[in-house]
Each structure stands twice: as structure tokens, then as C-alpha cells.
């Protein structure tokens, strides 16, 4: 067999991932995606082995809940045919492999740097000389936004090419705060240090990324998390989803100058994150999720407190949405603004809300379920127009859905397992993959151990890695004044990208 299959959160021996020559490798993995919207690439990366680069490709099948793994050895300086020329899903993965290891592709259409890692293969590639796309014309002009933004937005640069007010092209350049997160997982040896790194990947997705890391570590150590641990993680994920979606509805209202919606949704986010502080001591949930233990057990008293918060939150949330979605001036800004078609989201491999907005069902809670989701019969919220209106509708509907999940969960609070975790050493020469559906979409963490069971490679993929290009496509042929609302309706992560 030229590939092997695993399921979410499964550990296998690295030797069980078949090796093949590059021609077989490219045929296999691009073939998986041909005419198969239920399959997509969840991770594709390289890591050094002696004087070679081992490439590992992970293709998820959303129908069978399986993940197909295959590998190939190449060398720096190799001239290879690109996966991207056959399927654009692989575009940014190959750019990163090129940037990190100097692997060249003959026919990649957009072979530019991705992150500017300190240990990148070619240090002469710098942000200062980034090769922006340009169009020569006396009738066109360029507009640059960032990397220093007003307010609290993280550093990223947006280069627009416009004809008057109309956007013809947007190129998004990131990498300004590359923190070496993946290298830090290897450099730090204590579990607490690594967990703290995981919860610092993206400040608005603390629960999502820390849950993925916890699942990776527990799988590597052969540890089975208890029911109350998975209960707390599932509950926290849905609370995180509620809080961020509510805050983003406020931000969208701000960008259309609807002050009432901005104020009310902003206020409604506060009791949700304040409850997270009551539960675990931090409004962004830092310190709440830990591998092998229930750090802050959820109690019946907390359940009663949360039920009261939701009872106050829900009528105000529903009333504010009724006002928003009946307001002609708001609908005129939402509808048919920032459209990305089904064909485009499928082509570029978007995940989460950025896929579901255009009719492409991608939701790990259903396709590769984890935690308590297997028993929840989760149904993804799907819209079909791919515009700002679809994205804000998904946020509204997912808040209501999460609220119902939370109400169901707190009806039956499990007893806490008080025992201290007993971890075996991580399995040597092993590979583990964890998928978690964060509020933005699919998070993927992969770990590889060496002969001593130490981490030899750790690979993180935030959903924004897939979805930034969708924003660039969304604004084409829109007016430049529509960019803020398009941007906020996605709310992608800079820090989650600049690992």
C-alpha cells in the first residue's frame, strides 16, 4: 500500500507512513482531491532527516472520518513539479516548504515567501524586498494599508490595486511577527511550558489550540482523557465560539456605522468572557485546558451560574439580531458584498466558516469528531451566497446553536476525576495528528518524536492559513470602502499565521 490511514488523535509509528518516489507522491495526493469535495489537505509539510527533507502529506476524507498519510524524501535544491499546478489547495503549503528548505518547483504559479522564519533557507528573502504583484497602467493606483494599523489589529500589510474606488487585486503580506512557535515546542522541554506556548498561538483561540496540543500529547503518551476532561474542553470550545462570534458581530456593526449593534453586541460578549474568568481565572481561558488533567473542574454551581448568564444574554442577543437583519441600510452593506463562490472556496481549500459560507460543508465536529461531539449529532450551519451576509448569518446561527449545546451540557455535569495524571513517556519514532474545530475552523497539530521519544518536529496549522486568500478574492470588484467589513466578516488571525 502506498498510503496509510489514521483517525483523528491517533498515534502511529513513523515507519508506518509509506515512502514513495515523488512522481507517485504527487499523483496520489492530487488524485485524492480530483472531483472529491469531501477530501482536502489538512497538512502538508517537510522536516529534515539527515541530509534530506521528508515530506508528509495528510489528506482528510470527511465522509469516512479517515486521514490518508503518505511521504516522500527530497533534497534542498531539487527541481520538482508542483502539486499546486494540479490543485490549488496545496499553494501555500508548497510555498512554505520552498521557503523553509529551498525545494524548488518548476511550475508553481506564486512561489513567494510565507512567514520569514529566522531559520529560513534563503535569508536574503526579506519583508523589505517582498515581490508584490503590480499592474502597469496610468489609470490604476496602489493603496497600502499597514503593517502598522490604527487600533489593536496585529501587523499585516495589504496592497490594493484599484481603478478609482474599485479593487482589482489585493495582495496580503504577513510574517511581521514570526515568533518561532513551532521551534519553541522543541526547545522547551517541560510540559507546562509547551502547553503555555500552545495557548499563546492565537489569543482568540486559546481553547482551540490548547485542546489540539492536549490531544496530541495524550495520544503520544497513550493517555485516555476522562469524560470530565473532554466535557470541559467541549464546553469551553462552544463558549469561545459564542464569545468571538458575538464580538465579531459588534465589529461588523462598527464597520457599517451601526452604533446600536456595535454597542449591544460588544456588551453581550463581556458576560461570556467574564464567566470564563470565573471558571478558570482568565477571560481568554488561559490556564483552563491542560493535558492529562481537569485543571478547573466544572461544577453544578458553575452550571447554575452559566444558565443564569445565558437566560439574560439570549433575549438581548435575539432582539439585537432581529433589529440588525431588518435594517435596510445594514442589509444593503451585507448582501452581495465580498462574494467568494463555491468553486473558489473549493479550489483554494478554505475551511470552517469560510467554506460553509459558500455551501462547502467542512466542520471537524461532524467529519472527524472529537471530545463529546460524537454524541451530540452536530449539524454544520451552511449558507450558499459566500458574501458578508452569509458570514454574519453563520455567526448568528452558530451562537444560537452553541448556546443550545451549552444548555444541554450543563444539564448533566460529570463528577471530576481528582487523580493526578500518570503519563508514560511519549512513544518514540511516532507520528500523531489532532484536528479540532475552532470557531474559525479547522485547527491541525502534528507531532513527530525521535528515538528517545523527544519531539523531533511539531507542526501547527491555524485555519487562517487556508483562508487569507479567500479574503483577497472576496474584495475583488468591490469598492475599497467595503474592505473593512469584508475583513471583519472573516476576522482571520495574523498571529495564528505568523508562527
Q: Write out pLDDT tens, residues 376-435.
A: 999 999 999 999 999 999 999 999 999 999 999 999 999 988 767 778 999 999 999 999
For 367-454, where are the E strands, in sequence order?
430-437, 442-449
pLDDT reported for residue 422: 77
SS3 content of the chain, % helix, strand, coil (to 5): 40, 15, 40
pLDDT band at 220 (very low <50, low <70, confident <90, very high): very high
pLDDT reported for residue 496: 92
pLDDT reported for residue 151: 65
Other C-beta atoms lying within 10 Å of the C-beta of residue 491? 21
Q: With 70 as the cut, is the pLDDT of residue 83 above it?
A: yes
Contacts of 90 (CB under 8 A, 6+ apart): 29, 30, 41, 44, 82, 83, 84, 349
pLDDT reported for residue 84: 97
Q: Write out pLDDT tens, residues 167-208.
A: 999 999 998 888 899 999 999 999 999 999 999 999 999 999
Question: At CA 289, angle to CA 284 and CA 290, rounded to 5?
Answer: 140
pLDDT reported for residue 310: 98
Q: Are strands 442-449 and 39-49 parallel, antiparallel or unpaired?
A: unpaired
Percentage of the residues of the chain whose pLDDT score is greater than 90: 90
**CATH topology (fold) of 4-105:** Beta Polymerase; domain 2 (3.30.460)
Q: Write out pLDDT tens, residues 40-62.
A: 999 999 999 999 999 999 999 99
CA-nearest of 461, 406, 441, 449 to 182 is 461
For residues 341-356, average pLDDT: 97
pLDDT reported for residue 102: 95
For residues 442-471, average pLDDT: 97
For 179-263, where are the E strands, in sequence order?
none
pLDDT reported for residue 128: 87
The length of the chain is 499
Q: What is the mean pLDDT of the chain?
A: 95
* Cβ atoms of residues 145 and 161 within 8 Å: no
Other C-beta atoms lying within 10 Å of the C-beta of residue 37? 15
- What is the location of CATH 1.10.645.10 in the chain? 181-497
Q: What nine digits make up the cell of 83?
A: 502539486
Q: With 70 as the cut, is the pLDDT of residue 363 above it?
A: yes
Q: Write out pLDDT tens, residues 308-336.
A: 999 999 999 999 999 999 999 999 999 99
- What is the location of CATH 3.30.460.80 in the chain? 4-105
Distance in angstroms (rounded) separating the CA atoms of residues 436 and 26: 27
More confident residue, 139 or 177: 139
pLDDT reported for residue 150: 65
Q: With 90 as the cut, is the pLDDT of residue 148 above it?
A: no
For residues 460-475, average pLDDT: 97
Q: With 80 as the cut, is the pLDDT of residue 149 above it?
A: no
Distance in angstroms (rounded) separating the CA atoms of residues 288 and 186: 23
130: which DSSP letter? -
Q: The domain at 181-497 falls in which architecture?
A: Orthogonal Bundle (1.10)
pLDDT reported for residue 417: 80
Amino acid at each position: 500500500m502506498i498510503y496509510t490511514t489514521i483517525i483523528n488523535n491517533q498515534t502511529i509509528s513513523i515507519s508506518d507512513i509509506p515512502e514513495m518516489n515523488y512522481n507517485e507522491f504527487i499523483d496520489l495526493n492530487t488524485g485524492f482531491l480530483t472531483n472529491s469535495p469531501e477530501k482536502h489537505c489538512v497538512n502538508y509539510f517537510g522536516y529534515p532527516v539527515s541530509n534530506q527533507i521528508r515530506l508528509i502529506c495528510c489528506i482528510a476524507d470527511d465522509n469516512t472520518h479517515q486521514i490518508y498519510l503518505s511521504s516522500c524524501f527530497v533534497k534542498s535544491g531539487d527541481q520538482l513539479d508542483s502539486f499546486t499546478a494540479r490543485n490549488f489547495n496545496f499553494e501555500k503549503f508548497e510555498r512554505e516548504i520552498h521557503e523553509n528548505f529551498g525545494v524548488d518547483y518548476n511550475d508553481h504559479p506564486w512561489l513567494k515567501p510565507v512567514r520569514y522564519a529566522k531559520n529560513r533557507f534563503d535569508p536574503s528573502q526579506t519583508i523589505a524586498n517582498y515581490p508584490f504583484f503590480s499592474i502597469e497602467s496610468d489609470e490604476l493606483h496602489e493603496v497600502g494599508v499597514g503593517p502598522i494599523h490604527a487600533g489593536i489589529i496585529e501587523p499585516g500589510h495589504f496592497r490594493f490595486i484599484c481603478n478609482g474606488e474599485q479593487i482589482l487585486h489585493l495582495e496580503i503580506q504577513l510574517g511581521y511577527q514570526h515568533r518561532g512557535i513551532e521551534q519553541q515546542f522543541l526547545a522547551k522541554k517541560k510540559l507546562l511550558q509547551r502547553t503555555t506556548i500552545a495557548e499563546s498561538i492565537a489569543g482568540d483561540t486559546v481553547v482551540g489550540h490548547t485542546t489540539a496540543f492536549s490531544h496530541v500529547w495524550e495520544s503520544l503518551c497513550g493517555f485516555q482523557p476522562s469524560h470530565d476532561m473532554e466535557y470541559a474542553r467541549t464546553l469551553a470550545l462552544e463558549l469561545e465560539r459564542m464569545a468571538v462570534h458575538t464580538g465579531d458581530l459588534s465589529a461588523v456593526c462598527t464597520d457599517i456605522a451601526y452604533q446600536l449593534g456595535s454597542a449591544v453586541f460588544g456588551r453581550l460578549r463581556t458576560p461570556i468572557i467574564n464567566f470564563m474568568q470565573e471558571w478558570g481565572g482568565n477571560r481568554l481561558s488561559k490556564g483552563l485546558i491542560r493535558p492529562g488533567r481537569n485543571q478547573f473542574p466544572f461544577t453544578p454551581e458553575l452550571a447554575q451560574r452559566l444558565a443564569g448568564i445565558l437566560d439574560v444574554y439570549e433575549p438581548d442577543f435575539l432582539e439585537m439580531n432581529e433589529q440588525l437583519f431588518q435594517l435596510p441600510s445594514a442589509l444593503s452593506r451585507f448582501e452581495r458584498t465580498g462574494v467568494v463562490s463555491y468553486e473558489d472556496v473549493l479550489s483554494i481549500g478554505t475551511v470552517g466558516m469560510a467554506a460553509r459560507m459558500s455551501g462547502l460543508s467542512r466542520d471537524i465536529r461532524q467529519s472527524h469528531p472529537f471530545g463529546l461531539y460524537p454524541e451530540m449529532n452536530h449539524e454544520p450551519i451552511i449558507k450558499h451566497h459566500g458574501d458578508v451576509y452569509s458570514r454574519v448569518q453563520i455567526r448568528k446561527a452558530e451562537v444560537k446553536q452553541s448556546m443550545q449545546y451549552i444548555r444541554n451540557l450543563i444539564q448533566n455535569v460529570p463528577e471530576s476525576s481528582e487523580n493526578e495524571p500518570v503519563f508514560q513517556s511519549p512513544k518514540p519514532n511516532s507520528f500523531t495528528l489532532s484536528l479540532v474545530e475552532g470557531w474559525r475552523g479547522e485547527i491541525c497539530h502534528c507531532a513527530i518524536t525521535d528515538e528517545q521519544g523527544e519531539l523531533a518536529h511539531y507542526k501547527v496549522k491555524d485555519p487562517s492559513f487556508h483562508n487569507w486568500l479567500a479574503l483577497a478574492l472576496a474584495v475583488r470588484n468591490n469598492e475599497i470602502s467595503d474592505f473593512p467589513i469584508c475583513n471583519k466578516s472573516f476576522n482571520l488571525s495574523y498571529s495564528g499565521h505568523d508562527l
